[in-house]
Chain A
Amino acid sequence: MASTAISLESVNKRYGSTVALDSLNLQVEPGEFFVLLGPSGCGKTTALRIVAGLETPTTGTVRIGDRVVNDIEPKDRDVAMVFQNYALYPHLTVRRNIEFPLRARRVSSHERERRVMEVAESLQLEDQLNRKPGQLSGGQRQRVALARAIVREPNVFVMDEPLSNLDARLRVEMRAELIDLHLKNGTTVLYVTHDQVEAMTMGDRIAILKDGVLQQVGTPKDVYDRPANTFVAGFIGNPPMNLMPGELLGEPGMIVGIRPENVFLDDNGSIETRVTLVESLGHEHHVACRLNYDNETIVFVRVPSTVSQVPGIGESIRLSITEPLYHFDSVTLERKAIKT
């Protein structure tokens, strides 16, 4: 077995003068659920399409298993892709959609039928086989798209924001289904999303990209507890980490980071602020406050719903903080050390 399932080595992608990927290095282990996370336009979909073979890198090497696949046709890479908008063929029934890749590979009709039924059963699509995609709900369509990918029994799945078109509740359901599916068949998954909750809940490891540059790779706990720089610190976590100018052991030129759950409403606290926004989510409240001494910095506080007195907008409140504090260099924006 290959030591890595997918490997990108110094991969660059340019469109004219625009740099979509800048010297990207990534190694995905076999059987891993690997998430590429970042804001729109960060290059995550480009990286995915390069792995699938739908784009060619400007420079760099792409391996799937032991093979360098730069010059290998997409169909011969043994990669199945799931698209954000499902990419189902609207004129074909669910059955024909699922068996579409098998027909291309000239699989016998008997074998086709067996595999379609097997996949349809595992995704609860048996009753929908003779319907057209237009007659299905969003969740069912995404299941058909998954079925079409799974039926190929590929080495690698690549998924491009497959849950973004679903409503919030369905998304949570499908998230669980995808994890379950991955646990069952153990195939390597490269998954692109801009939703940090998806990344944190589904990924074995997460790679965070910004402007085509890899910021950090690590387990969800790693990137949350030990963010490599202010971008990762601000991108992971909701509300985002509070970042403000500060100092470390007397050394100025630092940015200090504090997670909102480490900031508390405290009548005896040393930080004086004024409330600018309160968002109530039911199980907790997110309170945004402006520092009195520095009118520009907003501090987010996570207030559990068990706290009876939630401050109102415009109210002056005092805050206290607990560790951990994060320290970032104000020039390189990289994390210096953790003081715990």
Chain B
Amino acid sequence: MRTSVRTALRYVFLIIIALVVLFPIYIAVVNSLLSGQQIAHRPPTLFPLHPLWNSFSLAWSFGHLGTYLRTSVIVSVLTTLAALTTSVLAAYAFAFLEFPLKRIMFSLCLATLMVPAEVTIIPNFRTIQILGWYNTYPALIIPFAASGIGIFLLRQSFRQLPRELHDAAVLDGYGHWRFLVRVVLPLNRAMIGAFAIFAFLSSWNQYLWPLLVTNSDSHRTVQVGLRQLEGLNPDQQNIVLAGTILAALPIFLILFIFQRQLVRGLTAGAVKG
């Protein structure tokens, strides 16, 4: 009896937290379906009786969201692939190979996690300028093609494979490359998947960097492109919100589809100890 009361209380608490998190998103969706005047109305409308669905098509055409979303998809997918490739290879080296200065190099990788992104923005910007990459895809992708957190997460995950699996593969005649592809990657699917989602989300939600290194619409990502909608009248807030929701939609879809993968990957280390 006592445990059921405790469980009930726990659920009430979790429901309240969930409401606090979901309420702003709900209000954004509701307001995107109201007219500007209805949004300004007090008390606020919590349920749109006559939703204005055309705010989404207006946001799409007026904000050129198609172009921006395409750029965002290209940049995020390529950044994720690049970060995955470098992290997998570096993590493999740190987990399975012996080479001079290994510990120091790993410490350096970890040290990059402690440096705030703002500190590196100016040197990175200078580098991009010197390379002549302003307004190009490489400027949006290359600075994020290696990831300290990726190397760290995957190295920890790879190290949990029993050493004997590596020994057995070596004796069976598998070189590093085939051992990586045939054994390490399939056995670390969960962590690799979790990191891929993490890298994709970070890239998708970038704002400051794409704003700095691009000035043409053809290379701006959707987060920057949303600013186009700021030029609208104050009573067209619904269109701004519709654009924001469209920009966030891919993220929601990815989280919805892969949430189990994400949770499993991020808790895998904790459970295996």
Which residues in A have some Cβ–Cβ distance to B below 8 Å? 49, 52-54, 74-75, 79-81, 83-85, 87, 89-91, 100-101, 104-105, 148, 152
Which of chain A's residues have a CB closer than 8 A to the CB of B165?
87, 89
Q: Nearest 8 CB-CB pairs, A to B?
A: A87-B164, A104-B173, A75-B173, A101-B172, A87-B168, A83-B164, A91-B186, A104-B172
- Does A74 lie within 8 Å of B162, measured CB to CB? no
- Does B172 lie within 8 Å of A52, measured CB to CB? no
The contact string, 1 if C-beta is below 8 Å from chain A, for chain B 213-256, is 00000000000000000000000000000000000000000000
CB distance from A37 to the nearest CB of B (A): 21
The contact string, 1 if C-beta is below 8 Å from chain A, for chain B 150-177, is 0000000000001011011111111000
CB distance from A56 to the nearest CB of B (A): 12
Residue among B164, B165, B171, B187 facing the most chain A CB atoms (10 A cut-off): B171
Nearest CB to that of A102 among chain B residues?
A: B172
Does residue B260 face the partner (Cβ distance < 8 Å to A)?
no
CB distance from A30 to the nearest CB of B (A): 20
Does residue B183 face the partner (Cβ distance < 8 Å to A)?
yes
Which of chain A's residues have a CB closer than 8 A to the CB of B186?
91
Q: Beyond the given A49-B167, A89-B183, A148-B172, please list 20 additional residue pairs across the A-B interface where CB-CB is below 8 A.
A: A54-B167, A54-B170, A54-B171, A75-B173, A75-B174, A80-B171, A81-B167, A81-B168, A81-B171, A85-B162, A87-B162, A87-B164, A87-B165, A87-B167, A87-B168, A91-B186, A91-B187, A100-B172, A104-B174, A105-B173
Which of chain A's residues have a CB closer than 8 A to the CB of B164?
83-85, 87
CB distance from A308 to the nearest CB of B (A): 51
Which of chain A's residues have a CB closer than 8 A to the CB of B162?
85, 87
CB distance from B11 to the nearest CB of A (A): 34
Which of chain A's residues have a CB closer than 8 A to the CB of B172?
75, 100-101, 104, 148, 152
- Say yes or no: A83-B168 contact (C-beta < 8 A), given A90-B187, A91-B186, A91-B187: yes
CB distance from A278 to the nearest CB of B (A): 41
CB distance from A105 to the nearest CB of B (A): 6
CB distance from B174 to the nearest CB of A (A): 5
Q: List 6 A-B contacts (CB under 8 A).
A: A75-B170, A83-B168, A87-B164, A101-B172, A104-B174, A152-B172
Nearest CB to that of A105 among chain B residues?
A: B173
Nearest CB to that of A160 among chain B residues?
A: B164
Which of chain B's residues have a CB closer than 8 A to the CB of A81?
167-168, 171
Does residue B178 face the partner (Cβ distance < 8 Å to A)?
yes
Which of chain B's residues have a CB closer than 8 A to the CB of A53?
170-171
How far, in angstroms, from A75 to B172 measured CA to CA in the complex? Answer: 6
Residue among A87, A148, A152 facing the most chain B CB atoms (10 A cut-off): A87
CB distance from B82 to the nearest CB of A (A): 26
Which of chain B's residues have a CB closer than 8 A to the CB of A104?
172-174, 178
CB distance from B158 to the nearest CB of A (A): 14
Which of chain B's residues have a CB closer than 8 A to the CB of A80?
171
- Does A74 lie within 8 Å of B170, measured CB to CB? yes
Nearest CB to that of B165 among chain A residues?
A: A87
CB distance from A98 to the nearest CB of B (A): 11
Which of chain A's residues have a CB closer than 8 A to the CB of B167?
49, 52, 54, 81, 83, 87
- Say yes or no: A52-B187 contact (C-beta < 8 A), given A85-B164, A104-B178: no
Which of chain B's residues have a CB closer than 8 A to the CB of A49?
167
Which of chain A's residues have a CB closer than 8 A to the CB of B171?
52-54, 74-75, 79-81, 101
Nearest CB to that of A152 among chain B residues?
A: B172
Nearest CB to that of A97 among chain B residues?
A: B168
- Does B183 lie within 8 Å of A101, measured CB to CB? no
Residue among A83, A148, A152 facing the most chain B CB atoms (10 A cut-off): A83
Nearest CB to that of B178 among chain A residues?
A: A104
How far, in angstroms, from A35 to B186 measured CA to CA in the complex? Answer: 36
Which of chain B's residues have a CB closer than 8 A to the CB of A52?
167, 171
Which of chain B's residues have a CB closer than 8 A to the CB of A84?
164
Nearest CB to that of B183 among chain A residues?
A: A89
CB distance from B98 to the nearest CB of A (A): 12
Residue among B168, B170, B173 facing the most chain A CB atoms (10 A cut-off): B168
CB distance from A216 to the nearest CB of B (A): 29
How far, in angstroms, from A82 to B182 measured CA to CA in the complex? Answer: 20
Which of chain A's residues have a CB closer than 8 A to the CB of B173?
75, 101, 104-105
How far, in angstroms, from A75 to B173 measured CA to CA in the complex? Answer: 5
Nearest CB to that of B186 among chain A residues?
A: A91
CB distance from A154 to the nearest CB of B (A): 9
Which of chain B's residues have a CB closer than 8 A to the CB of A75?
170-174
Which of chain A's residues have a CB closer than 8 A to the CB of B187?
89-91
How far, in angstroms, from A323 to B52 measured CA to CA in the complex? Answer: 106
Residue among A49, A85, A104 facing the most chain B CB atoms (10 A cut-off): A104
How far, in angstroms, from A53 to B168 measured CA to CA in the complex? Answer: 11
CB distance from B185 to the nearest CB of A (A): 10
How far, in angstroms, from A89 to B174 measured CA to CA in the complex? Answer: 13
CB distance from A62 to the nearest CB of B (A): 15
